[in-house]
Structure 1
Amino acid sequence: MQKKKKLLVIIGPTAVGKTKLSIELAKRFNGEIISGDSMQVYKGMDIGTAKIKETEKEGIPHHLLDILEPEQEFSAAQFQSRANEAIQEIHTRGKLPIIVGGTGLYIQSVIYDYHFSESPSNPEYRQELEREVKEKGIESVFQKLQAVDPDSAGRIHPNNSRRVIRALEIYHCTGKTMSEQLSEQTKEWKYDTCIIGLTMDRDLLYSRINARVDEMVNEGLFEEVSSLYHKGLRDCQSIQAIGYKEIYGFLEGNLTKESSIEALKQNSRRFAKRQLTWFRNKMDVKWFDMSNLEQFSKKTEEISAYIAGKLCNKANK
């Protein structure tokens, strides 16, 4: 029986410190990093997605960053395919692939080897929902999704009308939610995987999120979003991302600058809460508390020892 290839996964909510830890672990375990973030794939969307800067990479190769234009669509199935390709390439160089990110379904699709099939469509039903969005607003349609598929409703942003409608269309056509279809699949581990989860005291995490938003604004977030806005980007997947839709509200005159910043902070905090709920309910994770920021080195040693026992020692048995 062929041995499974090794894979390290680092997950956790936004602003918990995944990027910094991933660089340290990549240096220790001869790794290359694969972004597990659904929005960092887009070119020109750097500040709002908290994309790692070149100066922060410390020579560690990164994959699945800046691979699409902002107007292009991206799905879990596409991520799965590209991530698997990257994992194979990294192993051919004798290195350890490390997926780092916070998009739960994307990461699940790789480690559990989900099989995505084309779900049937119903154009008439889809058009009916699109009319309802225009007449009553997205909130009305999103409430329908919450009623039939709360799992997907927790994963899809309420403003992303395309994905909300698609999730309802799948349920309408099949009688099963997208989440049910995926959960029915046999969860076989495609790789010899070690999953590390980072958590933090909630008040500290929220404080870090607020500080990160202020830093994004200082680094030019409004200018970055304005550039996309003036290119004519409107109803596309990328612009529904937290950090972009709030600034669009300001650019379209619906929010003041201050209220758009506050909305961004609030939405980021809510997103972090949803991320933690998802990871705790859906994945087999070894959690590490990163609340004591002064003991980062000590915590890194602890995490490294766990990874070595989980991935490296098994190879010697």
Structure 2
Amino acid sequence: MDSWRNKMTKPALVVIVGPTAVGKTKTSIEVAKAFHGEVINSDSMQIYQRMDIGTAKVKPEEMEGVPHHLLDICSPEEDYSVADYQKDAQQVIDDLHNRNKLPVMVGGTGLYVRSVTHNYNFNDAISDPSYRQELEEFVNNYGVDALHSRLQEIDPERARQIHPNNVRRVFRALEVFRATGSTVSDRYAEESPYNLAVIGLTMDRERLYERINLRVEMMVQEGLFDEVKKLYESNVRDTQSIQAIGYKEIYRYFDGEYSSETAIEQLKRNSRRYAKRQLTWFKHQMDVEWFDMTNGKLDEKIPSILRFVAGKLDLKSN
């Protein structure tokens, strides 16, 4: 595939999206193997070290020799923004193109994906010191939760990404809206800098929810409570990482608010709700070629997915 990049006016990028537990990881590896590619994580919680089971992070033995990027790049105590991800992902994509490797981005965090595919400019909103002072006074009078509620009303997707205690990032998101009239979630370029092949995996909701429930039970068997306990005992609190589904519920167990059974049920419920939000977001925000994974095994769907990628990007598979 040495000449694939020369066939296009823009560099190629494969993107695989969809809800949790639908089969994105395996699909990304098969696509990468077929087209001399490497995988780039775009799940906002898989960037964190020591958070493997609860984020369903790909295991080394599951990678089948395919290099993976942007996994385990931050400690759980660190904040990591969409702008950080965009910069890091673009660097990886450029490196892969320079090595004649096809980048295959996979994950379920919509803002991470679109920050790259549509090259959002994070530096074009002018700061407003007087408005910042107004927001600071609001926090002093009404608290961080009330401030976060203001962001929730304007930009629910962005609010979901930012913990209420991360006041600086809430301030910034509100400033962007004040200065530009549009939300951070909406401020993307219309045209992508890449020649995109965007694959979406979907599934009958009842079947997907069964898979999610089963995945949670498997996580518990694999030691999820022990993984979370180590973070809890390390005093990792009020951070972006611990807001992840699978961690915040079990933290409440260790805080004595939930029984283990309640924590597991809440984890299943929150995972199902998140999957629903993921599907809704990608169906409205991305130009996606959808593949229904409800009937048949994933292996039976791979040939049609590979044909789509080959046709879209004018590639030949191995």
Same fold (TM over 0.5): yes
The residue number in structure 2 matching 1:45 is 51
| 1:92, distance to aligned residue in structure 2 (A) | 2.1
Structure 2 gaps of 5+ residues are 1-5
Equivalences, count: 306
C-alpha distance in structure 2 between counterparts of 1:289 and 1:280, whole Å: 13
1:156 aligns with 2:156: no
TM-score (structure 2 length as normaliser): 0.88
* Alpha-carbon spacing, 1:205–1:127, altered in 2? closer, same or farther (3 Å): farther
Q: Quick one: which amino acid aligns to residue 161 of structure 2? A: I
What is the CA distance between 1:189 and its match in structure 2?
Answer: 1.0
Deviations along 1:244-271, one digit per CA (max 9) or x if unpaired, are 1101000111111110111111111111
The residue aligned with 1:13 is 19
Q: Distance in 2 between matches of 1:250 and 1:207?
A: 24
Q: CA RMSD in A?
A: 2.5
2:263 maps to 1:253: no
Q: What are the Cα deviations for residues 23-48 of structure 1, in whole angstroms up to 9, with x where unaligned? A: 11111111100001111111111001
**What secondary structure sits across from 1:9 in the alignment?**
strand
Distance 1:234 1:188 in 2: 39
Partner residue of 1:282? 285
Match of 2:246 among 219, 243, 247: 243
- The whole-number CA distance in structure 1 between the counterparts of 2:10 and 2:215 is 38
Tell me the residue number matched to 1:309.
Answer: 311
Q: Using the TM superposition, give the Cα deviation of residue 191 of structure 1 relative to its aligned residue in structure 2, in angstroms.
A: 1.0
* 1:228 maps to 2:231: yes
Structure 2 residue aligned with 1:188: 191
2:209 corresponds to which letter in structure 1? Answer: Y
Q: Is the 8 A contact 1:41 1:64 kept in 2?
A: yes
CA 1:242–1:84 in 2, change beyond 3 Å: closer, same or farther? same
Per-residue CA deviation, residues 188-241 of structure 1 (Å, 9 max, x unaligned), is 211111100000000011111111011011101110011011111111110111
Q: Equivalent residues in 2 for 1:21-36 (5 A)? A: 21-36=27-42
Displacement over 4 Å in runs of 4+: 140-143, 176-179
User: Equivalents in 2 of 1:237, 1:127: separation in Å?
Assistant: 24
- Aligned-residue offset at 1:166: 3.8
1:72 is the counterpart of 2:72: no
8 Å Cα contact 1:10-1:197 kept in structure 2? yes
**Contact 2:35–2:315 (8 Å) recurs in 1:** no
**Alpha carbons of structure 1 residues 133 and 209: separation in structure 2 relative to 1, 3 Å:** farther
Q: Is contact 1:130–1:165 with CA below 8 Å preserved after alignment?
A: no
Amino acid at match of 1:115: N
Normalising by structure 1, report the TM-score. Answer: 0.88
Query: 1:174 Cα shift?
Result: 4.8
Secondary structure (helix, strand or coil) at the match of 1:194 reads strand
